[in-house]
Amino acid sequence: MNETMVTLVGNAATAVEHRQTTAGVPVARFRLAATSRRWDKAQERWTDGETSFYTVRSWRGLADNVAASVAVGEPLVVQGRLRLREGEQSPEKGGQRWFSAEVDAVAIGHDLSRGTAAFRRVTRVSRMNVTDQEPVPAPRPDPFQGARPNPEPEPEPGPESGTRPRPAPEPVTQP
């Protein structure tokens, strides 16, 4: 069995099948269609090439998120370990040789070159009812604060916004 890390860009070709293994581990599976495109100089337009289909599997939290986020036809970017398999059908089924390309995904996301998405962080509850939440990083300092030539005014904070007013920036004086 050959195993290589790959990044695939394509569309979800089937609905996500979401289930749990007998050990209770979530797993999700769907097919991804990836079509190559090339510029046809003679016709001066893009043309579609061959379409390849990949079975994409994801496990645990990624599987849960894929099941909640991916629908048929949506453009995706998938990164994972490519597994190429081959075999032979039984003589009753024709005895044909078959080949399969499967990806054990480590990351899956929507292709933002073709649309927009809204990210929502999830909180997971483990088997012991302990919340496994990623720490929220502290806000980064704004390296451009005070250096913008024409900053846009911020909206007035109100009780519904839950924010406090920011102090006015100090004027920048030139020597």
DSSP 1: -
Tell me: the pLDDT tens digits for 11-57? 999 999 999 999 999 999 999 999 998 899 999 999 999 999 999 99
Tokens (6 digits) for 164:
């406090």
169 versus 16: the higher-pLDDT residue is 16
DSSP character for 123? Answer: -
Could you tell me whether strands 75-88 and 97-110 are parallel, antiparallel, or unpaired per DSSP bridges? antiparallel
Confidence of residue 137 (pLDDT cuts 50, 70, 90): low
Q: Which of 3-17, 84-98, 100-114, 115-129 has the lowest mean pLDDT?
A: 115-129
The reported pLDDT for the residue numbered 53 is 95
Overall pTM > 0.85 = no
93 DSSP 8-state letter:
G
Q: Cβ neighbours of residue 125 under 8 Å, at least 6 residues apart?
A: 131, 132
* Residue 34: per-residue pLDDT: 96
* Torsion of the alpha carbons at 113, 117, 124 and 27, rounded to the nearest 10: -50
Query: Mean pLDDT, to the nearest integer, of 125-145?
Result: 50
Q: Do 75 and 11 touch, CB atoms closer than 8 A?
A: yes
pLDDT in the model for residue 90: 85
Q: For the segment 68-92, what is each residue's pLDDT rounded down to a tens digit?
A: 999 999 999 999 999 998 888 888 8
pLDDT number for residue 79 = 98
Identify the three-state secondary structure at position 137. Answer: coil
pLDDT at 175 > cutoff 80: no
